[in-house]
């Protein structure tokens, strides 16, 4: 896995050299040799507080009663009001919003992984043909198209086609992610030797079989990267569900926070309990799978 990775960092002139020195680089990163820089450690620790303090603030505010809100808001709660979560749960219809968001996210990740890698494979292996090369640049050009120009027409179109629903959103995430994902997948597929496929083909495997049995398993590091990026995007997206979804019962988590602002306004602890519940699922997944998530995103950038 690591060697395919370094292989794909083509733009670096010292490529092979870097690969040969990889073990030493890693040792240095662990801080194994030489002394630890304690000043820098302290500085980084202070900087990391800027990330942690707003999170701490969200948690303590979600636990307070409204009359504890005065002051800076950073004080610990004197008495904890767990009912904030129950109130927020009911007010925003949390389980429904959670289910919608989860369904849309899982659907988008699956459909994206299955289709985008397939398209990228066909393009990567036929780049010498005008048609496929043209397609590649057609998809890449879409990276520069900002969403607001699509926003108004696509709302008309999804309403017309009857896909102003969670299923429609899954389709839209799959289609709008295509440009960037093809870019990542094609670069990776180019680093996979064609000989592997030719061997399978000589044994009589069809192109479909070659893709599913040979190529798709080899793509798993990139599938992890694309899966994480798609998951975070679909889970947290606000604008697309806001304009596309027509049925109020299809609300996603961020959309529910927006729609219930009016009701929250007088009661901040309930609002913060609701924010916390909306942020928690992905945060928990991240804390559990932290190493995997970070390496997944890193890999995508080293293409």
Q: Which stretch binds another protein (CB under 8 A): 8-16, 76-84, 87-95, 219-227?
A: 8-16
- Least Å distance between CB 79 and another protein? 20
Q: Which of 85, 94, 185, 211 touches another protein by CB under 8 A?
A: 211
- Least Å distance between CB 239 and another protein? 6
Q: Interface with another protein includes 9 (CB under 8 A)? A: yes
Question: What is each CA distance from 182 to 47, 119, 121, 200, 229, in whole angstroms?
Answer: 36, 7, 9, 24, 13
Q: Can you tell me the distance from the alpha carbon of 232 to that of 299, in angstroms, rounded to the nearest whole number?
A: 16
User: Which residue carries 């989860």 as its tokens?
Assistant: 102
Q: Interface with another protein includes 148 (CB under 8 A)? A: yes
Q: Which of the residues 226 through 255 are near another protein (CB under 8 A)?
A: 232, 235-236, 238-239, 243, 253-254
Query: What residue spans of the chain are helical by DSSP H?
Result: 2-8, 15-20, 22-29, 38-63, 83-91, 94-125, 130-141, 147-161, 166-189, 195-202, 207-209, 216-218, 220-236, 239-244, 253-259, 261-264, 268-288, 290-301
Contact in structure between 151 and 243 (CB atoms under 8 Å) = yes
Q: Which of 3, 194, 258, 288 touches another protein by CB under 8 A?
A: 258
Contact in structure between 132 and 189 (CB atoms under 8 Å) = no
Q: Which of the residues 10 through 49 are near another protein (CB under 8 A)?
A: 11-14, 17-18, 21, 24-25, 28-31, 34-38, 40-41, 43-45, 47-48
- Least Å distance between CB 220 and another protein? 19
Closest CB to another protein among residues 51, 193: 51
Using CB under 8 A as the binding criterion, the count of chain residues that bind another protein stands at 109
- Least Å distance between CB 18 and another protein? 5
Q: Can you tell me the distance from the alpha carbon of 186 to that of 182, in angstroms, rounded to the nearest whole number?
A: 6
Q: Which of the residues 101 through 130 are near another protein (CB under 8 A)?
A: 115, 118-119, 121-123, 125-126
Q: Which residues contact 272 (CB under 8 A, 6 or more apart)?
A: 58, 61, 62, 84
Q: Which of 144, 160, 195, 249 touches another protein by CB under 8 A?
A: 144
Closest CB to another protein among residues 153, 193: 153
Q: Phi-psi region for residue 34, left (φ > 0), alpha (ψ -120 to 50) or beta?
A: left
Q: Which of the residues 151 through 210 are near another protein (CB under 8 A)?
A: 151-157, 171-172, 175-176, 178, 201-202, 204, 206-208
Q: Interface with another protein includes 286 (CB under 8 A)? A: yes
Q: Tell whether the torsion through CA atoms of 178, 132, 137 and 122 is positive or negative.
A: positive
- Least Å distance between CB 25 and another protein? 5
DSSP assigned state of 144: G
- Least Å distance between CB 63 and another protein? 14
- Least Å distance between CB 4 and another protein? 14
Q: Interface with another protein includes 59 (CB under 8 A)? A: no
Neighbours of 54 (CB within 10 A): 10
Q: Can you tell me the distance from the alpha carbon of 169 to that of 174, in angstroms, rounded to the nearest whole number?
A: 8
């Amino acid at each position: 896995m690591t060697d395919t990775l370094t292989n794909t960092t083509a733009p670096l002139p010292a490529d092979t050299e870097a690969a040969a020195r990889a073990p030493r680089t890693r040792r240095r990163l662990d801080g194994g040799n030489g002394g630890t820089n304690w000043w820098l450690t302290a500085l980084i620790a202070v900087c990391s507080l800027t990330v942690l303090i707003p999170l701490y603030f969200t948690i303590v505010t979600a636990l307070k009663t409204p009359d504890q809100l005065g002051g800076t808001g950073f004080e610990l709660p004197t008495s904890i009001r767990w009912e904030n979560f129950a109130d927020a749960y009911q007010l925003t219809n949390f389980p429904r919003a959670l289910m919608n968001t989860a369904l849309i996210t899982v659907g988008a990740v699956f459909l994206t992984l299955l289709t985008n890698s397939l398209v990228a494979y066909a393009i990567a292996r036929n780049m010498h043909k005008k048609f496929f090369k043209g397609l590649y640049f057609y998809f890449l050009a879409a990276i520069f198209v900002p969403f607001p120009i699509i926003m108004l027409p696509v709302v008309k179109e999804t309403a017309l086609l009857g896909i102003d629903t969670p299923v429609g959103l899954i389709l839209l995430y799959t289609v709008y992610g295509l440009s960037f994902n093809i870019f990542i997948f094609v670069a990776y597929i180019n680093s996979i030797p064609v000989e592997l496929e030719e061997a399978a083909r000589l044994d009589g495997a069809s192109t479909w079989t070659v893709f599913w049995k040979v190529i798709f398993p080899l793509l798993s590091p990139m599938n992890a990267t694309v899966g994480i990026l798609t998951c975070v995007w679909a889970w947290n997206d606000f604008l697309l569900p806001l304009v596309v979804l027509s049925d109020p019962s299809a609300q996603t988590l961020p959309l529910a926070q927006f729609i219930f602002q009016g009701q929250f306004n007088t009661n901040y602890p309930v609002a913060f309990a609701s924010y916390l519940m909306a942020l928690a699922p992905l945060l928990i997944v991240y804390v559990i799978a932290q190493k995997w998530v970070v390496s997944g995103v890193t890999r995508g950038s080293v293409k």
